[in-house]
Structure 1
Amino acid sequence: MILIGDDWAEDHHDVEVQDATGRKLAAARLPEGVEGITKLHELIARHGGDDLDATDVIVGIETDRGPWVQALLASGYQVYALNPRQAARFKERYGTSGAKSDKGDAHALADMVRIDRDQLRPVAGDSEQAQAVKVVARAHQTLIWERTRTFQRLRNTLREYFPAALNAYADLELTSPDALELLIKAPTPAAAAKLTCAQITVVLARYRRHNRSAKAATIQTAMREQHLGLPEPVTAAYAATATAHAKLLVALNEQITELEAQVKAHFLAHPDAEIYLSMPGIGVITGTRVLAEFGDDPARYASAKARKNYAGTSPVTRASGKSHTVQARYIRNNRLADALQRQAFSALHASPGARHYYDKQRAREAGYNPALRQVGNRLVGILHGCLKTRTFYDEATAWSHHAHPEPHAA
């Protein structure tokens, strides 16, 4: 067995090769790319011998993606993507001075996969389709998060110099294309007050708003109300800032729409898509995000409990002496947790079984979030069973253990 610690940087990798006893066999700095991976293979062959099987090569590295990791997986090596926080805690056993070096980190990573490998999770062998789904799903969600941040910046800017715009465009939503177009057209209070109903109506008509005349009149009235102002140079500076944020929101809206088409195409092409879509509370976007974070490696989750633990829906027990508490699991995949919470909330309206299970938790005096988390936990277990047996969701089967007998008629 050969164990490798790989401390990666943008343009190189510091690696250490150990045998099964922890004896250092070699250390090297390898360049990123084809040249570096070739030299790594040569290093392994030199110290592993001709009869070394690829599965006997264990690699510890602090990332789970990128061409380098894919090349390691394609070679048949066992790759463990180590959490940087876990690795930092492991390195503390070597000393508390805080000293750090790339060679020392590579040594610690090799030791980590040698000593604690049973406690670590190997990089999943997801299919190419699942990897593509993950890329577009994460990119789409990241753009949505960026749009939210940009919107908050725009809103805060308008509050500083032009709060009337927030009231005027409240019915349209500030992130809508017509509100952004009007704001870019008239970014100052003086310019907005000069907008006519006809000009506003033209913009609303372009985006097919209903009751355009009434909405245009409301916007015009709000813009022409008296309000406190700022000196003209200050107002101009704020207007330039707001215009920049508004134009960025327009671009983000366009890219989110375009990327959403890619999300749907990649997800619907995956063989597991129909199973995900059969689940209550899951649509294309939510299904894409759940599939992206769970992956499709059939050997990744040994049981429904393992999938629930990874999802972060199952609770954590903390017992010490006479103290025994059950708490929510906060160390988790936040993208997956967000998607599962959305699914659980939607399932309350789409599944009678989920709604009854939720009401049952609330009757036990569980709060809203804990009860919803329990619904999500149950849905993850159901999803695991559907994927394992390659069957679609069935309402009666899914909640048979939680069904309650109907009361007899009087």
Structure 2
Amino acid sequence: MKVFCGVDWAEDHHDVVLVDDTGTLLARCRIGDDAEGLQHLLQVLADQGDDPDHLIPVAIETSRGLLVACLRATGRLVFPINPLAAARYRDRYSVARKKSDHGDAMVLANILRTDLAAHRPLPADSELGQAIAVLARAQQDAVWDRTQAGNKLRSHLRGYFPGLLSAVSHMREGLCTATARTVLAAAPTPADAARLTRTQLKSLLKKAGRRRDVDSAAEALREAFRREQMHQPPLVEEAMGRQALALLRQLEAACISCDELAEAVETSFRQHPDAAIITSFPGLGTLTGARILAEMGDDRTRFASAASLKAYAGSAPVTRASGKTRAVLARKVKNQRLAAVGYVWAFSALTKSPGARAHYDRRRATGERHTAAQRNLFNRMLGCLHHCLSHQLPFDEATAFANSPQTTQMPTAA
């Protein structure tokens, strides 16, 4: 007799239901979100025939958390069911739209009973692969937080201190650079900045880590701060300066988090056996490669073919056909993180690979927009990555673009 388990997840407790292959309720209980609750769940599973040779699969509406991690550690299949999909299944069993925790757990168990083959279990990634996923996602979130904090500070400075924005506009990272943050912390208002001497500016630049052209950089800042500009009333300007310091502290924390997490990601990623293969691809560095690995995982059975990986990343188009109507559209349901790093990868590959550039130019010549051609290139490179990881081979330009006319010289710009 086959047994299936459904767990309705909540913050402090979970409802558990077990059914057999005929849909008969075998057991139900409510467990706490603690070690005692986990032991209770394992005991309930054992009472229904759970053993190392016949582990009962579990369906739950989340893929994260301690309960999921502990269930995965037992070696059983854990199926994360999308809450939207579970809501659709709920209508199969009742048209009254009633809802309860026990009923939701019953629905999850019946999803496995009727459609187990239509759902994917959590991949069996290695411990190192899971650690890289945590760090890479945290670093990506920190980058987004830094961008948001920088935009808030830039918008605020535009209202009373545009001179600082013009002074750091030539810097690659603008307000996120250590120079801009250090100077703003010392002089949060135009009046304070105009009073800074050359010696003070040199000291601030050295404090920010500047080692070359300190004198010229200090002189450029001094001229920018003393240039005539519009001002807010003195008291308003001082108040806005205090607000700028508060926003600066948020930006400072985000920048520090980005740097520390990036270092941790690079250290962990270099230890992974797939790192050499991933970074052999043009356009993929340590950070972008770690993000690719974090979303793909290192479980080789997760994606049976390159097509499934492309659909997961959203690079493959989706076809909608009904009668005589047929439309090929960009895929909206996808792994957003993998899609985001895919555009960065494809854009960087244009200047690193003659074959990638030729592929992009050929798509553009057919009338495709930049975004579509870039997505198609990402689709091509993703298929090559799946092949290389499956066969443990490094990237080879001649093999990847064997049938594409390649440029004779490396392009200098995207």
**For the residues of structure 2 that align with 1:280 and 1:188, how far apart are their CA atoms?**
45
Q: Secondary structure at the match of 2:11?
A: coil
Name the aligned partner's letter for residue 106 of structure 1.
A
Structure 1 100/198 Cα, relative in aligned 2: closer, same or farther at 3 Å?
Answer: farther
Whole-Å separation in 2 of the counterparts to 1:390 and 1:49: 40
TM-score norm. by structure 2 comes to: 0.91
Using the alignment, how far apart are the partners of 2:102 and 2:235 within structure 1? 56
Partner of 1:115: 114
Q: 1:273-292 to 2 correspondence within 5 Å?
A: 273-292=275-294
Q: What stretches of structure 1 of length at least 5 have no aligned partner? A: none
* CA offset digits 1:252-311 (Å, max 9, x no partner): 222322222211111111111111111111110111000010001111111111111111
Which of 230-239 and 134-143 deviates more?
A: 230-239
Could you tell which deviates more after superposition, 167-176 or 322-331? 167-176
**Contact 1:313–1:374 at 8 Å: present in 2 too?**
yes
What amino acid does structure 1 have at the position aligned with 2:175? L
* Residue type of the alignment partner of 2:109: A
- 2:319 alignment partner, SS class: strand
Distance 1:92 1:402 in 2: 51
Counterpart in the other structure of 1:18: 19
Q: Are the counterparts in 2 of residues 7 and 105 from structure 1 also a CA contact under 8 Å?
A: yes
Task: For residue 35 of structure 1, report the CA deviation from its aligned partner.
Answer: 1.2
CA contact under 8 A between 2:355 and 2:407: conserved in structure 1?
Answer: no
Q: What letter matches 1:12 in structure 2? A: H
Gaps of 5+ in 2: 409-414
Q: Percent identity?
A: 43
Greater shift, 16-25 or 221-230, is seen at 221-230
1:262 aligns with 2:261: no
Q: Does 1:38 align with 2:39?
A: yes
Pair 1:314-2:313 in alignment: no
Structure 1 position 171 matched with structure 2 position 170: yes
Post-superposition offset of 1:147:
0.6
Compared CA separation, residues 404 and 346, structure 1 to 2 (3 A): closer
CA 1:13 to 1:352, structure 2 compared with 1: closer, same or farther past 3 Å? same
1:326 to 320, 325, 328: 328
Question: Which amino acid counterpart does residue 85 of structure 2 have in structure 1?
Answer: Q
Alignment check: 8 A CA contact 1:54 1:76 kept: no
**Any residues of structure 2 matched to 1:141-290 within 5 Å, and which?**
141-172=140-171, 173-206=174-207, 207-208=209-210, 210-290=212-292
Q: Is the 8 A contact 2:354 2:406 kept in 1?
A: no
Counterpart residue type for residue 356 of structure 1: A
Alpha-carbon offset, residue 382 of structure 1: 0.6
The CA distance in 2 between the partners of 1:404 and 1:179, in whole Å, is: 43
Change (3 A) 1:292 1:233: same
Which of 233-242 and 26-35 deviates more? 233-242
Matched-pair contact (CA < 8 Å) for 2:355–2:406: no
Q: Which amino acid aligns with 2:360?
A: Y
Offset, 1:210:
4.1
| Cα separation, 1, equivalents of 2:121 and 2:178 | 45
Aligned CA RMSD, in angstroms, stands at: 2.2
Query: Is residue 135 from structure 1 mapped to residue 137 from structure 2 by the alignment?
Result: no
Pair 1:105-2:107 in alignment: no
Name the counterpart of 1:343.
Answer: 345
- With over 3 angstroms needed to count, the CA separation of the structure-2 counterparts of 1:120 and 1:131, relative to structure 1, is same
- 2: CA distance between counterparts of 1:405 and 1:211? 39
